[in-house]
Amino acid sequence: MGSPNFRHPVTLAKELISLDDISAGRITLGIGAGGNGFDATTLLRSGEAPWTPRQRADRFGEFVTLLDALLREPSDTSYEGEFYAATEARNLPGCVQRPRVPFAVAATGPRGLALAARHGQAWVTTGDPKLYEAGSGAQSVEALGRQVDGLGRACAEAGRDVAELEKVLLTGFTPEFNRGLAAGGGRPFDSVDAFVDFAGRHAELGFTEIVIHAPVPADGPGFDAAVPDEKLFEEIATRGAAQLAG
């Protein structure tokens, strides 16, 4: 995952070209503006304030634009912006994948969706974070539908067909995964059928991929309900996938 919280476009471009070569062109970059919490403060000096959401968005716009140029133009890329600069940066021989490694751009707001429309081969969302604590599954689906519509408008403005982009939902951050809210109505990882129902409702919105935090256990909001046991994970990946395909 690429984020301005941790990366500079020039060094990240070199790392991506190496990974693309090692993987024989099988890598996709997940890239986002970063969020609040530990990933926003890990590299800060004592007493230094983390970036505001607006500051993160400002940097993210430059970050993606420069990274795109560096990977498309492997020889002598120069750029000078407010936050990032590159002087005759060389990234020979360039990416195995052409014109570059594909970007999966995480975005929920208008500025991020515009970046996804201009530079993304996929769009990633976690839903509306305001709904996790007190929203409903129905409200979440409505909010995701608005995000999908926003992506469509951004693609139209960028002169792209929204169908060109894969649409990815990263699970664990919508109300269905809140242990307290879902206690009475079940959760997506209670059973294969429950997951198929959840995935089907989001496929109807246009989502093409559902990402699961599994089978590796994790901690933090959402993760207690976002990680099925290993046996259920295998059933979802086989029987559940077949049900969805049918």
- Which band of pLDDT confidence, cut at 50, 70 and 90, is reported for residue 64? very high
pLDDT at 87: 96
Q: Which long-range CB contacts under 8 A does 155-160 form with residues at least 24 apart?
A: 155/117, 157/114, 157/117, 158/114, 158/117, 158/118, 160/117, 160/118
Query: How far apart, in Å, are the Cα atoms of 76 and each of 119, 211, 222?
Result: 21, 37, 44
- Which band of pLDDT confidence, cut at 50, 70 and 90, is reported for residue 222? very low
pLDDT > 50? residue 6: yes
Boundaries of every domain in the chain? 1-101, 103-246
Is there a contact between 126 and 52 (Cβ–Cβ < 8 Å)? no
Span of 45-54, 124-133, 223-232 with lowest mean pLDDT:
223-232
Mean pLDDT of 114-129: 96
Instruction: Count CB atoms within 10 A of the CB of residue 64.
Output: 24
Q: What angle do CA 187, 178, 211 make, to 5 degrees?
A: 65
Is there a contact between 227 and 218 (Cβ–Cβ < 8 Å)? yes
pLDDT digit string, tens, across residues 130-160 = 998 889 999 999 999 999 999 999 999 999 9
| CB neighbour class for 129 (10 Å; exposed up to 12, middle 13-18, buried from 19) | middle
**Domain formed by 103-246, architecture:** Alpha-Beta Barrel (3.20)
What's the mean per-residue pLDDT of the chain? 89
Helices (H), 120-191: 137-158
Return the structure tokens found at 160.
């792209």
Rounded CA-CA distance 240/165 in Å is 24
3-state secondary structure of 224: helix
pLDDT > 70? residue 213: yes
Mean pLDDT of 117-124: 98
pLDDT at 233: 87
pLDDT at 24: 97
| CB neighbour class for 186 (10 Å; exposed up to 12, middle 13-18, buried from 19) | middle
Query: How far apart, in Å, are the Cα atoms of 185 and each of 69, 114, 143, 178, 223?
Result: 48, 36, 20, 11, 18
Span of 60-64, 78-82, 225-229 with lowest mean pLDDT:
225-229
pLDDT at 145: 97
pLDDT > 90? residue 166: yes
pLDDT > 90? residue 42: no
pLDDT > 90? residue 177: no
- For residues 230 and 154, the model is more confident at 154
pLDDT at 180: 64
Report strand pairing: 122-125 vs 209-211: unpaired
pLDDT > 70? residue 215: no
